[in-house]
Amino acid sequence: MIKEPKKIGMLTPSSNTVLEPICSKMLYHVPEVTCHYGRFEVTKISLEQDALSQFNFEPMLQAAELLAHAEVDLIAWNGTSGGWLGFEMDHELCEAITKRTGIPATTSMLSQVRAFKEHNINTVHLVTPYIPEINRLIAEQYKKHCNIETINVQGLSQTVNRSFSQVDQGRIEEMIQAVTASPADALSVVCTNFPAVDKVEYYEDKFNIPMYDTINVLMWECLKMVDVDPRTVKGWGKVFSREKVSR
């Protein structure tokens, strides 16, 4: 039998068109790892009940079970709902996925927080396409769970998930320029259907700040979890090359 690459299974919002091609591009020069995707219904991001109910565990667990048929080494929720539902929900989801499938699990938001801690990030600017109420909840989660202060925030007040992917880079650059007028340790971009990470090196160089996007941080942690050096990924942000900071 041939030796298979490490396989990362990713739970994907049904209306997301950004994360799959980006994750595949990130791994283009990493043949020892492949990504495999399973979708469940997510079309709206708000605090209304119909939007919140999209993240009930059972549809996510059913999608995880189908990924497990491929004998993936890891299952990752490539989404950011823990930012407003609470990081506790992401921990519970990971536990439920592992209980159902026997496979380790993580999420975009948990990966971002772990990267912040490992790299000694204490202050961030926040950029999202979300409504102000969701952005406030994300900032509260950062403060509550890892004592990270959110300095400046830019959002687009959008709620239709499909629309997030259609924001052009010029508008994204305006948002990043606005928040980085003040200093902070890092730029946090939250939304896995938002194409900011496509120009991560450009933004990091132009605004002199490391960018912790919820797509690149998830890939960073997934590689660590399957015992592949994140430094094998080139061109997708400083997160892949930064060393762990001793506290």
118-212 shares the fold of 6-110+215-240: yes
CB 131 within 8 A of CB 95: no
Q: Which residue do the tokens 């709206």 mark?
A: 44
pLDDT at 243: 79
What span, in angstroms and rounded, lies between the C-alpha atoms of 36 and 51? 25
pLDDT per position as a tens digit, 51-74: 999 999 999 999 999 999 999 999
- Model confidence at 2: pLDDT above 90: no
CATH classification code of 6-110+215-240: 3.40.50.12500
- Own/partner contacts of 52-58, CB < 8 Å, gap of 24 or more, are 52/85, 55/81, 55/85, 55/89, 57/92, 57/93, 57/96
CB 244 within 8 A of CB 118: yes
pLDDT at 222: 98
pLDDT per position as a tens digit, 189-216: 999 999 999 999 999 999 999 999 999 9
CATH classification code of 118-212: 3.40.50.1860
Number of neighbours of residue 88 by Cβ within 10 angstroms: 12
Triad 199, 203, 204: Cα angle to 5°: 115
Determine the straight-line distance between the first and last CA of the chain, rounded to whole angstroms: 45
Percent of the chain with pLDDT over 90: 95
Can you tell me the mean pLDDT for 167-173?
A: 98
User: What pTM does this model have?
Assistant: 0.96
Can you tell me the mean pLDDT for 76-88?
A: 97
Triad 239, 196, 33: Cα angle to 5°: 50
Supply 32's token pair.
């020892």
pLDDT at 242: 87
Burial class (CB in 10 A: 0-12, 13-18, 19+), 28: exposed
| pLDDT band per the 50, 70, 90 thresholds, residue 247 | low
What average pLDDT is seen over the chain? 96
Strand order across the beta sheet in which 123-127 lies: 149-154, 123-127, 186-189, 211-213
Can you tell me the mean pLDDT for 221-227?
A: 98
pLDDT at 238: 97
CB 203 within 8 A of CB 176: yes
pLDDT per position as a tens digit, 101-158: 999 999 999 999 999 999 999 999 999 999 999 999 999 999 998 899 999 999 999 9
- Spell out the domain ranges in the chain: 6-110+215-240, 118-212
What span, in angstroms and rounded, lies between the C-alpha atoms of 36 and 38? 7
* Residue 85, φ and ψ in degrees, nearest 5: -80, -20
